Amino acid sequence: MTWDVIPDQYWKRNDEAYEFIQGIKVRNYRFDTLDFISREMKRGDTLDIGCGPRGMGTAANIDLARPPIIPDNFQIMDAQDLHFLNNSFEAVSIIEVIEHVENPSQVLREIYRVLRKDGKLFLTTPNPAHISVFIKYLRNKRVRIHCDHLHTWNWEMLAWLIHNAGFKDIEVCFWGFVDQMIKENKPVKLYRSYRLANLLYRLGIRNPMLHLNIFVKCRK
């Protein structure tokens, strides 16, 4: 084993990381996360990374391939190498994308570079601590994986990753695509664990395990 820093510095750094996490504001969102991001992305010059047909960006929408419905200002581009000038955007959204990229830290550094001072980042990713995972392990079952998901984080690790890229005013929220699909009257297979999560929420229980996704908003 090799140390990047001497052991005393390592433990001190761990203590600093823990103190940082204690200061993060954590909230529960319900139903309105994508609506909230969409409204925020209409203000000024904005970029949507991994846009698909959604295209929230007012100035640019990028993805690795052309979606079936091409949004305005669309470009094929890798998020790890953004072809934009420094300080180009008021806000950047990256919705269910960061877990797919080979180098998440590089993507976050690129986003930081192209954002203007105090520019906003809106990021979502799956929540690996969802109650469905917990129930699987309690039953000694294996969790179904997504073959194209290269990374996963609990909210604390994700907040630390974003902090290390230079972002400030980090706020963590929890939400779920199942909730959004119900709101939009789309068909969705409600597994028992999802029904349990929705029931517990209606009973007033507020816990990250009840939500399928993590939502982080922060500033440059």
* SS3 per-residue string spanning the chain: CCCCCCHHHHHHHHHHHHHHHHCCEEEECCCCHHHHHHHHCCCCCEEEECCCCCCCCCCEEEECCCCCCCCCCEEECCCCCCCCCCCCEEEEEEECCHHHCCCHHHHHHHHHHHEEEEEEEEEEEECCCCHHHHHHHHCCCCCCCCCCCCCCCCHHHHHHHHHHCCCEEEEEEEECHHHHHHHCCCCCCCCHHHHHHHHHHHCCCCCHHHCCEEEEEEEC
Domain coverage including residue 24: 7-219
Residue 207 inside a domain? The answer is yes
- Rounded to two decimals, the pTM is 0.89
Domain count of the fold of the chain? 1
Residue 129 inside a domain? The answer is yes
Q: For 54-72, what is the mean pLDDT?
A: 95
The CATH number linked to 114 is: 3.40.50.150
Residue 2 inside a domain? The answer is no
Q: Is the pLDDT of residue 180 over 60?
A: no
pLDDT tens for each residue of 2-23: 556 667 788 888 889 999 999 9
Between 192 and 64, where is the model more confident? 64
Q: How confident is the model at residue 160 (pLDDT cuts 50, 70, 90)?
A: very high
Q: Is the pLDDT of residue 184 over 80?
A: no
Residue 1 inside a domain? The answer is no
